[in-house]
Amino acid sequence: MTLGIRVLAITLISSISLLLAINGSLSISGYTGNSVILRLWNSSFIPVTGTTDYQIKVIVNYSLTNSSLIGQKLNAVMKVHDAKAEVIKTSSFPNGFAANNNGTTQLLTNIPKLLSGNLTTEVYFTTMNKSNVISNTINTLPHFENITTIESLPTITNIT
């Protein structure tokens, strides 16, 4: 390796280290956490007929702020948190979805009844391989639908 190439490599590594020190992170893809703006449309918590599960559904509207994402495959992630704020389930799209300039995305997951107390959800968009978060995060408290008995009603706490 020539001296010029070594100097170039050291300079490049130093520049990346400086960027990491200044910004706290480096987005390799070039997309940032504000490339997509999410807005909550609806969230629900519904008993699944014939099972002991509940279905959590979160629907978000999105708008791209980075036009280079139009037509690109993105992913959406929904994390379900218990009363201790621990993640008990994570859901996403196995094959992602093609982004439009704006649109609506629905995330669904089932949770066993025994895990259903004091749940909150967290939704955000990522690059297809989920390596970079490219949107704001939506935190929700699922709304109840079709709950028929007090016994089937889990306790829920508000997000502050």
CATH 2.30.29.30 fits 31-152, yes or no: no
Nearest to 69 by CA among 131, 135, 122, 124: 135
Residue 46 pLDDT grade (very low, low, confident, very high; cuts 50, 70, 90):
confident
Per-residue model confidence (pLDDT) at position 17: 38
Per-residue model confidence (pLDDT) at position 52: 87
Share of the chain above pLDDT 90, in %: 49
Per-residue model confidence (pLDDT) at position 14: 40
20 phi, psi to nearest 5 deg: -65, -40
Average pLDDT over residues 94-115: 91
What is the token pair recorded at 53?
A: 């599960």
Q: Check: CB of residue 149 under 8 Å from CB of residue 94.
A: no
